[in-house]
Amino acid sequence: MSLTKTSYSMITGAPFNVLDFGADPTGITDSTSAIQACLNKGGPNAAIRIPVGTYLLSATLNGFAGQHIYGDGVNQTVLQRYGNYGDTLRFTNIGSGSVRGMWFTHSTSPAPGFTTLANKATSGAHLHILNGQGVVIEDCWFWRMPVQVQIDQGSVIRINRCNMQGAWNLNASSAAQEGVACILLGVTNYCVLVDINNCYLGGYDGGPQSIPFVISDNGTQTVNFASSNAGSLYGVQVIGCEGLSIDSCYIGGNATNNIFFSPNNICSQIRIINNYFDSAGYNSPCVYFSPSVNGFYAAGVTINGNVFNGQLYSFQGIGSINTTGTQPAVVSFVINGNSFINGLGTAIFLNEAQNGIISNNQISSYNSRNLTPGGDTSYGFAIAIVDNVSVLLEGNIVGGNINSGYPGGYTYGAVSIAGTITNITEKNTVHNGTGTSANIIGKSDGFVVSVNNVNYNCSGIEDFVLTNTSSASIQIGLPSNPPKGMTITIKDAAGTAATRSIAVIGNIDGAVNLVMATNRMSRTFTWNGSTTWNITAGFL
């Protein structure tokens, strides 16, 4: 795409041209003073055109309120900075300005296998926006720098069709690290109504890395990734923002998280929809909620219609934890209609979450490197929630694996509910295969479809539709002392109980255990409030 003078003159009026102030489009001499002179002469509300060419920069360019700065396209207009001097282009009070059609780049391009980095940038952003209202950042590319775009204390801001990549990072803990975030929101004060749409926020392929991590039953593991992520720590980091939409973006190859919510200010009304997440860093979720100050949290969060591809080394698709205190990390959330594949660990792992719905998600090939048979909750389940309040889990399809066939493979449990919990309901989980050592523990009042020799310990009011494809029996453990009147229904939906029986473990009508060995058999068990489960309904 080529953006021309005519493209924007209808919107902004006759532009000021940096060539008229002595800017050098050949990239031989420094153009910083010439471009700044053009910005100064144009002043507030001016249109500033930077035509085709490469312009060397050695100091921060300072824009004015309402200025519209545009080039002739990302492959045409290149701002080539050199030196470590902070922001490339900064607006202290941008008002309703815009930046379009340029390529912001810093120094040379690192190649795969680099272990040192020349001309490293340690501070600043390519584009730093403060006090904006009605700002548009569109059709721009950004290469390297600690931050590509930083937005502070502005409202109604749109970042559209931008490409941000190449922030070099040997690994998340390396002293050679340069990249922090492609987009950073709300450092000095929170932003309002920010829309990030149709952007590519990617890492840079920097060659192999050996990544260590620890699992409780197998100790320290090291995996050498042939193509490691070498991108910035975060695709998007949100410190404060009210009204954030991230829609139809590619976000991948980041060293830690694709989107990181670390609020120390207002962080609410968030929509993350229709994006493709193409792996985060090792031991990290793609989308992560972890407040930097106790008492601040993400609220009103919708995560819908996204694809999470862990690429066999991201731990979680979505995670949350508050490491600063006892307040929640995320509240009033909906995680609906997403697809999770190729995760190293649990797809959805929420600590300290409140008032949420997790529904209609498809989760397969979690624990996809088969690193442990479930000794760690972080590896063993499709969904794990710890210390949550008022959460409904409904209609999720979990299990199965694309690497070793369906059903079974490297997946293990369905849902784990642990810690201090209040008003947690799981229902209608469809479980399409787990590993041979699975022991699924959950609390629900719907039904669970279980495939391939899976033992299930009940801890709630549950209906089970069981389809056993193995030669061994399935064991269903009934709770030992549930509330009086609790009912659990177990059904052989596959019609295979005659050859693959279902052993129901518990004190049932005065006897110990019950074997369901007739095809299509169904039994409903009701706790009498004392010592026995009574069979209260059923059919053969």
**Is residue 87 pLDDT above 70, yes or no?**
yes
- The residue ranking higher by pLDDT, 14 or 521, is 521
Q: Are residues 274 and 132 in the same domain?
A: yes
Q: Are residues 298 and 277 in the same domain?
A: no
- The residue ranking higher by pLDDT, 287 or 405, is 287
pLDDT computed for residue 209 by the predictor: 52
Kindly report, residue by residue over 21-34, the tens digit of the pLDDT: 999 999 999 999 99
How far is Cα 125 from Cα 145, in angstroms, rounded to an integer?
6
- The residue ranking higher by pLDDT, 53 or 511, is 53
Q: Are residues 393 and 424 in the same domain?
A: yes
pLDDT computed for residue 5 by the predictor: 39
pLDDT computed for residue 503 by the predictor: 87
- The residue ranking higher by pLDDT, 130 or 179, is 130
Assess if residue 426 is contained within a domain: yes
Assess if residue 117 is contained within a domain: yes
pLDDT computed for residue 397 by the predictor: 86
Max avg pLDDT among 4-8, 471-475, 493-497: 493-497
CATH of the domain at 53: 2.160.20.10
- Per-residue pLDDT band at 207 (split at 50, 70, 90): very low
pLDDT computed for residue 263 by the predictor: 95
Q: Mean per-residue pLDDT for 449-472?
A: 59
Q: Are residues 229 and 371 in the same domain?
A: no
Is residue 408 within 8 A of residue 374, CB to CB? The reply is no
Assess if residue 28 is contained within a domain: yes
pLDDT computed for residue 109 by the predictor: 63
Nearest CA-CA partner of 141 in 210, 94, 192, 202: 202
Number of domains, the chain = 3
- Beta bridge partner(s), residue 103: 78, 141
Cα torsion 256, 60, 149, 74 to 10°: value is -110
- Per-residue pLDDT band at 448 (split at 50, 70, 90): low
Q: Are residues 254 and 301 in the same domain?
A: no
**Is residue 442 pLDDT above 80, yes or no?**
no
In whole numbers, what is the pLDDT of the chain averaged over residues? 82
Q: Are residues 275 and 299 in the same domain?
A: no
Q: What is the largest CA-CA distance in the chain?
A: 96
pLDDT computed for residue 342 by the predictor: 83
Assess if residue 470 is contained within a domain: no
User: Among the listed ranges 114-123, 294-303, 334-343, which one has the minimum average pLDDT value?
Assistant: 114-123
- Per-residue pLDDT band at 230 (split at 50, 70, 90): low
- Per-residue pLDDT band at 464 (split at 50, 70, 90): low
Q: Can you give 101-159 as a three-state secondary structure string? A: CCEEEECCCCCCCCCCCCCCCCCCEEEEEECEEEEEEECCEEECCCEEEEEECCEEEEE
Residue whose structure tokens are 């985060």: 280
pLDDT computed for residue 74 by the predictor: 87
pLDDT computed for residue 72 by the predictor: 95
Residue ending a domain, among 452, 487, 516, is 452
Assess if residue 288 is contained within a domain: no
**Is residue 95 pLDDT above 50, yes or no?**
yes
Q: Are residues 355 and 376 in the same domain?
A: yes
pLDDT computed for residue 208 by the predictor: 43
**Is residue 294 pLDDT above 60, yes or no?**
yes
**Following DSSP, what letter does each residue of 19-31 receive, concatenated?**
GGGT--TEEEEE-
Residue type, position 495, single letter:
G
pLDDT computed for residue 461 by the predictor: 57
Assess if residue 457 is contained within a domain: no
User: Among the listed ranges 179-193, 242-256, 304-318, 454-468, which one has the minimum average pLDDT value?
Assistant: 454-468
Max avg pLDDT among 166-170, 230-234, 462-466, 468-472: 230-234
**Is residue 300 pLDDT above 90, yes or no?**
yes
Residue ending a domain, among 419, 452, 485, is 452
**Is residue 139 pLDDT above 80, yes or no?**
yes
* Angle at alpha carbon of residue 494, lines to 513 and 505, rounded to 5°: 10
Q: Are residues 101 and 57 in the same domain?
A: yes
Q: Are residues 22 and 90 in the same domain?
A: yes
Residue type, position 199, single letter:
C
User: Among the listed ranges 56-60, 81-85, 156-160, which one has the minimum average pLDDT value?
Assistant: 81-85
CATH of the domain at 538: 2.60.120.640
Max avg pLDDT among 269-283, 297-311, 420-434, 456-470: 297-311
Kindly report, residue by residue over 385-411, the tens digit of the pLDDT: 899 999 999 888 887 655 444 444 567
pLDDT computed for residue 49 by the predictor: 97
pLDDT computed for residue 460 by the predictor: 60
| Residue-number span of the structural domain to which 133 is assigned | 1-283
Q: Are residues 417 and 308 in the same domain?
A: yes
Q: Mean per-residue pLDDT for 442-467?
A: 57
pTM of the entire predicted model: 0.84
Residue ending a domain, among 397, 419, 452, is 452
Assess if residue 289 is contained within a domain: no
Q: Mean per-residue pLDDT for 312-319?
A: 86
Assess if residue 459 is contained within a domain: no
Q: Are residues 254 and 390 in the same domain?
A: no
* Angle at alpha carbon of residue 159, lines to 153 and 96, rounded to 5°: 55
**Is residue 362 pLDDT above 80, yes or no?**
yes
pLDDT computed for residue 521 by the predictor: 87
Q: Are residues 169 and 25 in the same domain?
A: yes
CA atoms within 13 A on the CB side of 349: 27
Percent of the chain with pLDDT over 90: 46
Kindly report, residue by residue over 301-314, the tens digit of the pLDDT: 999 999 999 887 78
Percent of the chain with pLDDT over 70: 77
pLDDT computed for residue 405 by the predictor: 46
Kindly report, residue by residue over 402-438, the tens digit of the pLDDT: 544 444 456 777 788 888 878 888 777 777 655 443 4
Q: How many CB atoms lie within 10 A of CB 120?
A: 16
